[in-house]
Amino acid sequence: MVEKEVVIEKDIFATLACPEKEGTFPAILLIAGSGPLDRNGNGPKGKYQTNLYKELAHFFTNMGFITLRYDKWGTGKRNGNLVEAGLSNLLHDAKAAMTFLQEQPNVSDVIVCGHSEGTILATDIAAKMKIDGCMLLSGGVDNLLEALYHQRQQAYQELLSMRGLKGWLNRTLKVDEKGEKKAEKMLKKMIESNSDIVRVTGMKQPAKWFREHDAYNTRAALKNVSCPVFALHGDKDSLVESSVLEELTGLVQGESEYHIVHNMEHGLREQTEPKSILDTKKLMKTILERPLHKEGLQLMAAWLERFLEREHKSA
């Protein structure tokens, strides 16, 4: 495998990874999830070193794919303040990266692979650009605000079901009702604003990001997707609602498949511990020491192998 840094549109820094042998290869664009994650999947100042996208890129490239992963707004070498970026800014960068990949002389077919929030960007690319495949990892079908609603409901359920005094207090204080009213008030303030950033209880919030995600209809976009679609969730992923994947076949125009992997969490690693959104941060350090989930990788590899077989037959 040979890696090199490339620059897209003057300020989007990215890593292009190619198989060592010469020739033309299919390619995969990796799109990161939400938060200040760089092209490798790592947070700033040594925090949240997941290396998820680097590991996926190496896995795909070792299979025979060219891969491209890039720094999003305000991460890695990319300028900008992520809190000011809306969905439209993130889509601009993702589409620029896809165009760059399609223009490479050693690239044949192209696949877009989004993780978490990146599945929404991948869906838009698949709906509006001519590509050959779409992978949705730890996301898909729901838009961002629907996913956040699910996360809040999961948290309320865990708070209300706590044992002993904590659970009794949470039920008595109706933390679910109060929490949802507070969340709705905050979202309303951001969605009705015209600013990129809004202060809520003294904290800067990405109003443009929330506003544009709220307006985005992921299901409508999926109806315009005609390339093959692959979706993958883990049953220990508390950040997504996996039941919505049942809608996928009825939404997309072409072939699709989805899988829900036992004991896999949001970052595609093994989690044998109980599923819990409240314990996500506490479990992160331990889980990040584990390799990517073996079955999850096998399912991705099987779908990509079929993609390679189709490409060889059409060549």
pLDDT of residue 311: 64
Same domain as 229, residue 200? no
| 126 and 154, same domain (yes or no) | no
Report the C-alpha gap between 74 and 81 in whole angstroms. Answer: 5
CB–CB of 42/51 below 8 Å? yes
Residues in the chain with pLDDT values less than 70: 311-315
Cα–Cα distance between 122 and 276 in angstroms, integer?
Answer: 27
Bridge partners, 258 (sequence order): 231
Q: 136 and 181, same structural domain?
A: no
- Say how far apart CA 120 and CA 141 lie, in whole Å: 8
Cα 191 to Cα 92, 118, 178, 211, 235, distances in angstroms: 21, 21, 20, 5, 32
Q: What is the pTM of this model?
A: 0.94
pLDDT score recorded for residue 314 = 60
Task: From 163, 195, 215, give the residue that closes a domain.
Answer: 215
106 HSE (CA, 13 A, CB side): 14
112 and 222 inside one domain: yes
Which of 184, 215, 246 corresponds to the end of one domain?
A: 215
Q: Which of 159, 193, 215 is the last residue of a domain?
A: 215
The two tokens of residue 140 are 């898909």
pLDDT of residue 256: 96
**What burial letters (b/e) apply to 3-40, b meaning 16+ CB within 10 Å?**
eeeeebeeebbbbbbbbeeeeebbbbbbbbbbebbbbb
What is the CATH classification number for the domain harbouring 232?
3.40.50.1820
Domain count, the chain: 2
Give the model's pLDDT for residue 285. Answer: 86
Would you state the pLDDT for residue 203? 85
Same domain, 159 and 221: no
CA 57 to CA 163: how far, in whole Å? Answer: 43
Query: By the 8 A CB rule, do 15 and 6 touch?
Result: yes
Q: Mark whether 149 and 257 lie in a shared domain.
A: no
Q: Are residues 249 and 113 in the same domain?
A: yes
Range(s) of the domain holding residue 190:
144-215
Say how far apart CA 202 and CA 204 lie, in whole Å: 7
Looking at the structure, tell me whether residues 269 and 298 fall in a common domain: yes
Residues 185 and 297 in one domain: no
Q: Within this chain, do residues 222 and 209 fall inside the same structural domain, yes or no?
A: no
Q: Are residues 181 and 88 in the same domain?
A: no
- In one letter, which amino acid is 275? K
- SS3 track for the chain: CEEEEEEECCCEEEEEEECCCCCCEEEEEEECCCCCCCCCCECHHHCCECCHHHHHHHHHHHHCCEEEEECCCCCCCCCCCHHHCCHHHHHHHHHHHHHHHHCCCCEEEEEEEEECCHHHHHHHHHHHCCCCEEEEECCCCCCHHHHHHHHHHHHHHHHHCCCHHHHHHHHHCCHHHHHHHHHHHHHHHHHCCCCCCEEECCEEECHHHHHHHHHCCHHHHHCCCCCCEEEEEECCCCCCCHHHHHHHHHHCCCCEEEEEECCECCCCEECCCCCCCCCHHHHHHHHHCCCECHHHHHHHHHHHHHHHHHHHHHC
- The identity of residue 149, as a single letter, is Y
| Domain co-membership, 257 together with 117 | yes
Q: What crossing angle do the helices spanning 144-160 and 175-191 adopt, rounded to 10°?
A: 160
Count of CA atoms in the C-beta half-sphere (13 A) of 135: 25
